Amino acid sequence: REIVVVGGGAAGLKAASRARRRDEEAEITVIEKGEYPSLGRCGLPYYVEGFVHDISNLMETLSGDVRDEEYFKKVKNINVLTKTEALSIDRKRKAVKISRNGRDDELNYDYLVLATGAKPVRLSVKGVDADGIFSLTSAEDALKITEMWMNESIESAVIIGGGLIGLETAEALERLDIDVTIVELKNQLLWNSFDFEMAELVRKCIIREGVKVLTSTTVQEFITEDGKVKAVRVNEKILPAELVIISIGVEPRTELAESAGLELTEKGAIKVNEYLQTSDPFIYAGGDCVENINLLTGKHVYTPLGSTANKHGRIIGDNITGGKSKWRGVLCTSIFRVFNADAGRTGLTEKQAREAGFDPVIAISPGPDRAHYYPGFKPIRLKLIADRRTRKVLGAQAFGLGVIDKRIDVIAMAIHRGATVDDLAEVDLAYAPPFSAALDHVIHAGNIIKNKLDGLLNGITPVELKRRLDAGEDLYLLDVRSQKEFEARRIEGYEVHNIPLSELRNRLDELPKDKEIVTICAIGTRSYEAARLLMNKGFEKVRFLDGALATWV
Ligand code: FAD
């Protein structure tokens, strides 16, 4: 059996390696047009920052072997041809035309795998081709940025796009003492993956570290001098920049598939079935060049992630060696670190859930990541989203200095298995003070939503509260923390009344019966108590501020 793989990245090499493990006799060739096969692209920002010292570290195995051509030949008997480009596919003859060392050649296949990855979305504005403008998606980009930093003085950089890669790159450059500004078209960072109030936490965090963030801002042109970028014009303002990173997303690289007449999806990815087989049964495709099914909506989504590309590779490796493995789809689970804080998400955001026709109900659980009396705890905020009708968990987002990954992963698994908030509330999670509270955030958030669904609690999100207050609605904001806490920090710009929880029972006559009352505290525990007290005492319009002051926008 002859197997040819185009693309020596995560999906391609995983497919080749899996195929080898299942079939010792197959002849397997991987074609890679770049110089660096098996590059851990996700580590590029850490290389730019200097945290990872050598680009070859991003190609190493745990035991320190560099996964180059020789490694693949010796260890796996896979022929990896670097600096070799696949030019076209002759599907009738089952042959791939390649260009290597300036010479054209041809490889025959029984099965062909397209793992051609993605390419950066181009920004069509004046001056975009000037020197000093990059996208950080390849080893070559990372090397050029590093070289520029070492040889030229870079005082200011502009990053266009406030997504995951833009944020990681912002941190890398800020740590190199460059003055960094992120320019984002939408009114928030992480527009595709986080709800506003959770993205605001990320924004505040990076601003504290010195990064400037301009949202609702459009790039108008790059101002250049002698072919080099000098500044970026945005919303009629000039931002000086000797370095610009464009990170407005990537799109599937499909030229090869398209010219071979393979079917593409509406959004332009290579069309594959559940076996990751293209419209030609002898050609498979995976990784960033294909779309996935969103397991919650059943619709196609484009989620170019290394985690998914590796799973695709494994499935393809099975199916080109006689297996029948199926790929079901994704929850768009992702995580990243900015400075000392972590942000992660899974499933649908509240906004996406609404757009997909669900009736979302949410909980935000702020608090320490372990028992509050255990030294060294760090704060996190977890937002949980569920469907009011079915009570099924739809998504989660988390942010904080503390441990968030296990919370996101537990919820990803819950969604994967179709769990409800009732399941979450009773799941048997590990507990000891160094790891979590007795009722972990996951369980706590499940309980908040249960309370809401069972009529024990009405929430109001920070975004909704702000919108209604700004629209002039007369809501009674009741902060139930101590006077000392209230004086130190409170919601600014609106009239807020302070009655500490310990006094509330005796001061109920100070509260209006006809107005909507919103209870507020630091992390939601006291405001929940207050809301229940008021509801039990016959106040009819009581709301509790979701996420409390810890998530106030
Ligand atoms: P790639 O890894 O891009 O490999 C495709 C390969 O195909 C390329 O090497 C290309 O040169 C080659 N190729 C294309 N056309 C041809 C041709 N005609 N002939 C020969 N070779 C060809 N994902 C996460 O899950 N977590 C993260 O934290 C994360 N961080 C990231 C940070 C950065 C800065 C970047 C850029 C990406 C990050 N990703 C992350 C995404 C992840 O890197 C990609 O999803 C993953 O690399 C996709 O793997 P792939 O095999 O589909 O494509």
* CB-side neighbour CA atoms (13 Å) of 323: 20
Distance 159 CA to ligand 1 centre (A): 20
Burial of 236 (0-12, 13-18, 19+ CB in 10 A): exposed
Burial of 267 (0-12, 13-18, 19+ CB in 10 A): exposed
User: To test ligand 1's pocket by mutation, which of 288, 312, 337 has the most ligand atoms within 8 angstroms of CB?
Assistant: 288
- In this prediction, what percent of the chain has a pLDDT beyond 90? 99
CB burial string 386-413: b at 16+ within 10 A, e below = bbeeebbbbbbbbbbebbbebbbbbbbe
User: To test ligand 1's pocket by mutation, which of 13, 41, 52, 335 has the most ligand atoms within 8 angstroms of CB?
Assistant: 41
pLDDT at 475 (0 to 100): 97
Closest ligand 1 atom, residue 304 Cα: 45
Closest ligand 1 atom, residue 41 Cα: 43
Give all strands (DSSP E) within 446-528, no chain letters.
459-460, 476-479, 496-498, 517-520
CB atoms under 10 Å from CB of 176, counted, come to 17
Q: Residue 530: helix, strand or coil by DSSP? A: helix
Binning pLDDT at 50, 70 and 90, where does residue 219 land?
A: very high
pLDDT at 153 (0 to 100): 84
Q: What is the DSSP string of 327-341?
A: ---B---EEEEETTE
**Average pLDDT for residues 93-112, to the nearest whole number?**
97
Active site residue 205: no
Alpha-carbon Rg of the chain, whole angstroms? 26
Distance 118 CA to ligand 1 centre (A): 6
The residue with tokens 């924004």 is 203
Above 90 in pLDDT, residue 183? yes
Binning pLDDT at 50, 70 and 90, where does residue 236 land?
A: confident
Distance 417 CA to ligand 1 centre (A): 29
CA distances from 231 to 5, 151, 238 (A): 42, 19, 6
Distance 253 CA to ligand 1 centre (A): 10
**Average pLDDT for residues 368-378, to the nearest whole number?**
95
Distance CA 167, CA 159 (A): 9
* CB-side neighbour CA atoms (13 Å) of 370: 15
226 Cβ contact list (under 8 Å, min separation 6): none
Distance 37 CA to ligand 1 centre (A): 10
CA distances from 158 to 41, 43, 47 (A): 21, 20, 19
User: To test ligand 1's pocket by mutation, which of 17, 42, 336 has the most ligand atoms within 8 angstroms of CB?
Assistant: 42
Distance CA 458, CA 519 (A): 10
> Between 151 and 485, where is the model more confident?
485
pLDDT at 92 (0 to 100): 97
Indicate the average pLDDT of the chain.
97
Q: Residue 142: helix, strand or coil by DSSP? A: helix
pLDDT at 166 (0 to 100): 97
Closest ligand 1 atom, residue 287 Cα: 52
Active-site residue among 42, 205, 289, 521?
42
**Average pLDDT for residues 28-42, to the nearest whole number?**
95
Report the side by side order of strands in the sheet with 111-114. 79-81, 27-31, 2-6, 111-114, 283-285
State the amino acid at position 495 in one-letter form: E
* CB-side neighbour CA atoms (13 Å) of 145: 30
Nearest in space to 501 (alpha carbons), one of 534, 473, 474: 534
3-state helix, strand, coil in the chain (%, to 5): 30, 30, 40
Distance 457 CA to ligand 1 centre (A): 46
The residue with tokens 């480009």 is 85
CA distances from 378 to 404, 406, 436 (A): 10, 14, 11
Binning pLDDT at 50, 70 and 90, where does residue 345 land?
A: very high
Q: Is the dihedral of CA 269, 259, 103, 5 positive or negative?
A: positive
pLDDT digits (tens, 9 = 90+) for 385-437: 999 999 999 999 999 999 999 999 999 999 999 999 999 999 999 999 999 99
pTM of this prediction? 0.96
User: To test ligand 1's pocket by mutation, which of 109, 116, 332 has the most ligand atoms within 8 angstroms of CB?
Assistant: 116
- Whether the ipTM is more than 0.85: the answer is yes
Q: What is the DSSP string of 19-66?
A: HHHH-SS-EEEEE-SSS-TT--GGGHHHHHHTSS--GGGGGB-TTS-B
Distance 7 CA to ligand 1 centre (A): 9
Q: Are 375 and 423 in contact (CB under 8 A)?
A: no
Q: Which residues line ligand 1 (CB under 6 A)?
A: 6-12, 31-34, 41-42, 44-45, 85-86, 115-118, 136-137, 165, 253, 256, 287-288, 304-307, 309, 336
Binning pLDDT at 50, 70 and 90, where does residue 317 land?
A: very high
Atom 38, ligand 1: which residue's CA is nearest?
A: 42
| Structure tokens belonging to residue 160 | 């266009």
Closest ligand 1 atom, residue 250 Cα: 36
CA distances from 397 to 35, 49, 385, 394 (A): 37, 27, 9, 11
Q: Residue 294: helix, strand or coil by DSSP? A: strand
Closest ligand 1 atom, residue 256 Cα: 18
